[in-house]
Structure 1
Amino acid sequence: MAVSVALFCGGGLALQRDVTSLAGSLFGAGGALLGAWITELNKRRSEAEEKEKKEAGAVAALAPELQHTIERVQYILDRSTVNFSCESAVESVKTNDQQADFRPYFPTLYPSASQVRDLPDKKVIALIRYYDSLNEISHYVDDWWEREGQLAVNIFNMLMHAAEKSLRLGLICVREFDLEARFPPPHESYGTLTSRIERSLSHASQARKRHLDRAEALDLKSGKSKEPMPFRKY
């Protein structure tokens, strides 16, 4: 652009001095450069618009399964918290939860779908970290469920930690993929996805605090704490 302006200025000076051939050459060169600059500018604008369009399409395609998996992890945390609380209180309460109830849902489009390649790096990294945390939960459920010699309260406590970690990574994806706007709650009292996740995280933290307070109280009362029940087979 600057070169074109300089050529036009030079052509104007040449024209003032009646050097018409030089003026024509300078004007022609300036016009050619200006035309090339406009063409390149339009090309870049078109490419940027196409890239933005593909990114929007990729987000729209991947968002539903992302929402589905995050809600599943929230459910896993809620059920882990309930079971942890029952085991911590040494209450003979059967929740009737099965091993399958603690398995996360996995995406079907990610990572093989072509739309994944259209996402910006920041969104891809968020997905990688979050979906990797689902593998951690799944492996934990497979490796530790009803393992002999392990206390149920410890198993559910570790499962809570894994689900909490996954949900915190999920919150990043909620923001990156604008899930709140894409999937509003069915009614106001239901709360947004973020508020529901934060509520589940808070309940888990409170359950863990009550467990520690209960153990400390038993220790002060009897001189030693009671052992929680071994893992029950439902």
Structure 2
Amino acid sequence: MGDLDKHLIGFGSKRVSSYIKKNPHLAVSIGLFCGGDMALWLDVTPLAGSLFGAGGALLGAWITELNKRRTDAENKAEREADAIAALAPELQRTIERTQYILDRAVVNFTCESSINGLTTNDLQGDFRPYMPSLYPSAPQVRDLPGDKAIALIRYYDSLNEISQHVDDWWEREGQLAVNIFNMLMHVVEKSLRLGLVCIREFDLETRCPPPYESWGILTSRIERSLDGAANARQRHLDRAEKHRLDPVKSKEPTAYRKY
């Protein structure tokens, strides 16, 4: 019991000390009021009046500062809410585009992996992500809370990685198409996982609900796309293993298409 009392006393003293550091005007004014009471008790009226006056002035300054803090906190919260509301639609649009890119990459990867001769007629531009127009120059970006700002930066940076991959590897001569689309899938999957963090941070499910209930929420659509990519990659590995175990085909190279 003694240890508990010491712990509570120590905890209480720490809180008092912290409060005094944050509110020095209040602490000094209390000290002045106590001094004024003592001077009044000693019948030193002029000194008591001076101490009470100084204490009252500091108390007024503390109340003014307290009101300013409250107003600043309310203004900050309002700016943060406005920033989230302003940036959310653009964020939603880029995430949906990224999900579309993954779906198309999976289709192309599957066609190349199965060597079925099918062509999707997708163009290079079909795999370019939508880049943000508000980030990073809009003033609302500076008003975002720390966690939301970090999530947004990491996600938008991943879009640059997708765009660079498409520019560097699209139909590069001598490369296997199946490998290029596999690499693209990995890059886009990484981006979508960062996008899922942004969906939670910006509460996009509530702010930007799907136009049709049958679509499902954005998170569930992304998870389906990620599962589809994982399944396509596993089927590719299964086909490769089957080819390796075939005593006849294993001696022949796999006829993947080259650029």
TM-score by length of 1: 0.93
User: What is the CA distance between 1:228 and its match in structure 2?
Assistant: 4.1
Which of 96, 99, 102 aligns to 1:71? It is 96
Which structure is higher in RCO with an 8 Å CA cutoff and minimum separation 6?
A: 1
1:104 aligned residue:
129
**Residue deviations 1:29-73 (CA, integer Å, cap 9, x gap):** 111111111111111111111111111111111111111001000
Matched residues in 2 for 1:100 and 1:12: separation? 80
State whether residues 215 and 225 of structure 1, in contact with CA within 8 Å, keep that contact through their aligned partners in structure 2.
no
In 2, distance between residues paired with 1:226 and 1:137? 30
* Residue of structure 2 equivalent to 1:18: 43
Structure 2 distance, partners of 1:217, 1:82, is: 21
| Cα distance in 1 between the residues matched to 2:252 and 2:228 | 24
Partner of 2:19: none
Structure 1 segment 74-153 matched on structure 2, within 5 A: 74-153=99-178
In the alignment, residue 257 of structure 2 is paired with which amino acid? P
Match of 1:178 in 2: 203
Say yes or no: does 1:223 pair with 2:255.
no
Identity of aligned residues (%): 72
Separation (CA, whole Å) in 1 of partners of 2:129 and 2:136: 17
Structure 2 residues without counterparts, runs of 5 or longer: 1-25
Offset at 1:17? 3.2
Q: What letter corresponds to residue 162 of structure 2 in structure 1?
A: I
Measure how far apart 1:75 and its partner are.
Answer: 0.3
Q: Residue in 2 aligned with 1:3? A: 28
Partner of 1:32: 57
Distance in 1, matches of 2:160 and 2:30, equals 60
Contact 1:88/1:228 (<8 A) preserved: no
The separation in 1 between residues aligned to 2:95 and 2:125, in whole angstroms, is 17
Q: Is the 8 A contact 1:5 1:30 kept in 2?
A: yes
Give the superposition deviation at 1:27: 1.0
Q: SS of the residue aligned with 2:118? A: coil
Deviates more, 1:197-206 or 1:121-130: 121-130
Choose from 210, 219, 232 the match for 2:235. 210
TM-score by length of 2: 0.84
How far does residue 28 in structure 1 lie from its aligned partner after superposition? 0.7
CA RMSD between the two structures: 1.6
